[in-house]
Amino acid sequence: MTEAARIADQIRRAAHGDAWHGPALGEALDGVSAADAAAHPIANAHSIWELVGHIQTWTRTAQRRFEGDHAEPTEAENFPAVRSVDPAAWAAACASVLAAHDALAQAVVRNPARSLDEMVHGHPYSAYVMLHGAVQHTLYHAGQIAMLKRALASRAT
């Protein structure tokens, strides 16, 4: 397996599961309702839904940067606001964040000639560091989502 294929595998595992660390993002989101996703059970913390939008933004940004774009999200894109607490919109947000991970993994495999040691245009890090950072970023926020789910559960009892 090439290094690019190994990184793509880690991106998929962070999103969909079968990772050694425990629940992946998709597993952390399983069973979360739209109302719970929009809730703020911890003061001054983002909601699960806001975190999902944030993860998607940065996963797509990593893909664009990997493909040579100097993508820079706006503040509104960084933590997108939840417009309405709608189950269909929540399901779409969950599907979209997982699709963003799939697209990033595919971009990594599709561009095997790109040197992972090559610096990302306009940034002080290599493609290798950025791609591993994307995995770490997803898992960091998946952990936050797990904590928010616990806070929601304890609030309900």
Looking at residue 99, its amino acid is A
Rounded Cα distance between 19 and 32, Å, is 21
Between 154 and 114, the more confident residue is 154
Q: What range defines the domain where residue 37 resides?
A: 3-156
CATH label of the domain that carries residue 115: 1.20.120
Q: What predicted TM-score, i.e. pTM, was given to this entire model?
A: 0.95
Please state the rounded mean pLDDT for residues 92-114. 93
pLDDT tens-digit readout, 34-56? 999 999 999 999 999 999 999 99
Rounded Cα distance between 34 and 57, Å, is 19
List the alpha helices (DSSP H) in 17-86: 25-29, 34-38, 48-66, 75-78
Please state the rounded mean pLDDT for residues 3-7. 94
Lowest-confidence region among 16-30, 32-46, 75-89, 112-126 = 112-126
The number of folded domains in the chain is 1
Percent of the chain predicted with pLDDT > 90: 86
Going 123 to 124 to 126 to 129, the CA torsion angle's sign is: negative
User: What does residue 119 show for φ and ψ, rounded to 5 degrees?
Assistant: -70, 145
What does the pLDDT read at residue 113?
Answer: 65
Tell me what the pLDDT averaged over the chain comes to: 94
Looking at residue 137, its amino acid is H
Rounded Cα distance between 138 and 56, Å, is 9
